[in-house]
Homo-oligomer: A and B are copies of this chain.
Amino acid sequence: MNYDELLERSRDVAARVLGRGVPADYIPALACADPNDFGMALATVDGEVHGVGEWRKPFSVQSVSKLFVLALALAHGGTSLWRRVGREPSGNPFNSLIQLESEQGVPRNPFINAGALVTTDALLSLTGDAQGAVVDFLRAESGNPDIAVDPAVAASEAGHGHRNAALAHFMASFGNLHNPVDEVLAHYFAHCSVTADCRDLALAGGFLARHGLRADGSRLLSRSDAKRINAVLLTCGTYDAAGDFAYRVGLPGKSGVGGGILAIVPGRGAVCAWSPGLDAVGNSVGAMAALEDFTERSDWSVF
Residues of chain A at the chain B interface (Cβ within 8 Å): 86-92, 94-95, 97-99, 101-102, 108-109, 162-163, 165-170, 172-173, 181, 224, 226-228, 230-232, 234-236, 240-244, 246-248, 250, 252, 266, 296, 301-303
A86 to B91, CA, bound (A): 12
Task: Tell me the minimal C-beta distance from A53 to chain B in angstroms.
Answer: 25
In the A-B complex, the 7 residue pairs with the smallest Cβ-Cβ separation, listed nearest first, are A91-B91, A89-B89, A162-B173, A88-B243, A231-B246, A166-B170, A166-B169
Copies in the complex: 4
A242 to B87, CA, bound (A): 9
User: Which residue of chain B is the closest to A170 with respect to CB atoms?
Assistant: B166
Q: Please tell me which one of the listed residues B98, B166, B168 contacts residue A98 in the complex, with CB atoms under 8 A apart.
A: B98
Task: Tell me the minimal C-beta distance from A266 to chain B in angstroms.
Answer: 5
Are the C-beta atoms of B247 and A303 separated by less than 8 Å? no
Q: Identify 11 new A-B residue pairs, CB closer than 8 A, beyond the known A88-B92, A224-B296, A234-B235.
A: A88-B89, A89-B242, A91-B92, A97-B98, A163-B170, A165-B165, A165-B166, A166-B169, A169-B169, A227-B303, A234-B303
A-side interface mostly: helix
A236 to B228, CA, bound (A): 17
Q: A88 with B242: in contact, given A173-B162, A266-B303, A303-B252 (CB under 8 Å)? A: yes
